[in-house]
A and B are shown apart, each in its own frame.
Chain A
């Protein structure tokens, strides 16, 4: 009957192909003939028939090699259908397994489906060598399938092929499309961070179609419970419009990490905008993220840092660890380009922000951030003014205080957005550095527990932080400027 059943000249591959087609052929012929005839006349497509009426569900991967029309030929020996130029759209899979679909403008796509999908994937510009295929189908398809199976059960109850587990339309599509796509894109399809999603959606006027309304579904459920099948009341309507297929690619977020320095007292850590006005001159987040995003050709970025500092506090010393998360990147920049980005930021004219050790981080990124969070110690240098001249014994008494416990009530400057709590914190050590020629000022170096408010520790926050620098020295104290000199993380 068909040419494909004769072994084509030359090649083991062709031999394999013909083995597959022979298997499909055999399976097709072994189907229950009247069931097949029934379904064909209802308007179910060949592949769906094979799916629903077969006993063994394992050979669908071979189906990919057999065209629709050939299958029809094998199935229907003796069916009176005059080969219609364009077979009608399947009432179960709505054309999905027939590779009949429209594009976004609802125009029927005439070209080969694999080529069309490949084109759309390439348009989105991702660099990839492997992908994961995701398929999203309208819910009416499973309802259609259930309706047809119910109908079959009514007519051919107790047949063996009715009892077996059916391959779903989604799985069937994946199996049919995966190999050709793999070949066409030149990529593997194992676990990957790059996802290609095929979304089928119904043309709006077909939204009713074969599916039941909620009311009908409830009625059917209760009727089933009562032991009656009501499907015979609803004739299977024809499907006039195919589904609309859209292809969307998404790459899982990638991470870059490093340490940043903040040299300016007018730069906030993250973008800070109040009433359409930006606070500060720039932000660390935008400077670093804005340089990395274009190199990745991504959609957007998120900035995460291990802690934060006020806008008027500089971040010096060994820098603060940070992560940049890039959404849907199209390409991953090499270490070389990362180094160039780092240099560009460090050598910029304004010298607001510095970066160190910028590199690509894998899945260990969050562990890196969480590392030693509770035990994190921070080191600061504060310029302090006191209302009386500094004396020698002040330096000694301050340096001798180790592991000083202080109680801090929530500072007034954050009390509007944080809970009213009393927090106990530890100042691990302090050191006074005198400033030549000025007895009212000194540089206070201190190492504190994470979460300590340094400014409030110096000026006492109206007495709500005790002890404070003022109470220790027995006078008024004010903080003029503050710098972070070290953020200790676990091992580094």
Chain B
């Protein structure tokens, strides 16, 4: 920098002025750029403060989207004993139907292995509802067959439970039926039905609330089943734990299980026959 300045002084005073002024401009630009950067980071700081302003006390386990936006209803022993379903109704009227934790299918060893939507007159999984007005939706009564779930020993027909238009069935279940075992109340939902307001009002009379369901099915909820995960879920229901805590417990439970497997490996390699067991007490 300085060398050029010296050379220019001897050669051309005008050029030197020009260079001086551009240098000044450059440093001004750099300053300006710094100012802008400062301003930007200031704005970002303010934004960050705003973003975190509401975070005072974060609950250990907040309510889930399902709990916030849906009202839970249950219907028990529908057409047959042990056929218990849940109906989660959204504020906009749509109903998500699925198997309640006390459904007979979960009692069978190995849980649910298969699901088939081809029941009744048509395959429910191929229906395509189009448009806002939901054209081509199958109109169902509450006892219309929805699908058939099979376990190792038996198969059970699942019915719509709600009169309305069938908007969607959960086709993921066809490839992953174990979703019914692990999360029947979320990813393992079976169908979405849209009832008409008049139909819903009538239907509602045969449904019970979560509290009533817990009371009615107390005994079954406490029975130990073969698969641990639904057992935990039922425990959560009984103990009034938020099911969000259940998923947290599930995670740690799985971790502990994995660790016990590792411990077993170590013990075997040491030639020991000691076993480690983990028990969950209600």
Contact = CB atoms under 8 A, between A and B. Distances in A.
Interface of A: 263, 314, 316-317, 381, 383, 385, 387-388, 409, 412-420, 435, 438, 440-441, 443, 455, 459-463, 475-476, 478-481, 483, 485
A455 to B, nearest CB: 7
B160 interface: no
Contacts of A314: 50
A438 B58 CA distance: 8
A388 B192 contact: no
Contacts of B129: 420
Given A460-B187, A463-B187, A475-B247, A385 B62 contact: yes
Interface residues of B, number: 41
Contacts of A480: 58, 62
A443 B65 contact: no
Contacts of A463: 170, 172, 179, 186-187, 189
A459 B60 contact: no
Contacts of B189: 462-463
B131 A481 contact: no
Given A412-B96, A441-B58, A420 B130 contact: yes
A443 B93 contact: no
Given A316-B50, A381-B51, A387-B251, A440 B92 contact: no
Contacts of A483: 50-51
A485 B47 contact: yes
15 contacts: A263-B50, A314-B50, A316-B50, A388-B248, A412-B96, A415-B94, A416-B92, A418-B132, A419-B132, A420-B134, A461-B65, A463-B186, A476-B247, A478-B62, A485-B47
Contact of A387 (B54, B179, B244): B244
B158 interface: no
A399 to B, nearest CB: 18
Contacts of A461: 65
Contacts of A385: 58, 61-62
A243 to B, nearest CB: 48
B64 interface: yes
Nearest to B250: A387
B168 interface: yes
A441 B51 CA distance: 14
Interface string B98-128: 0000000000000000000000000000000
A314, A385, A476, A483: residue with the most chain B Cβ atoms closer than 10 Å: A476
A435 B66 CA distance: 25
B69 interface: yes
A443 B52 contact: yes
A417 B90 CA distance: 13
Contacts of A435: 52, 55, 58
A423 to B, nearest CB: 15
B266 to A, nearest CB: 24
Nearest to B194: A416
A316 B55 CA distance: 16
Nearest to A261: B50
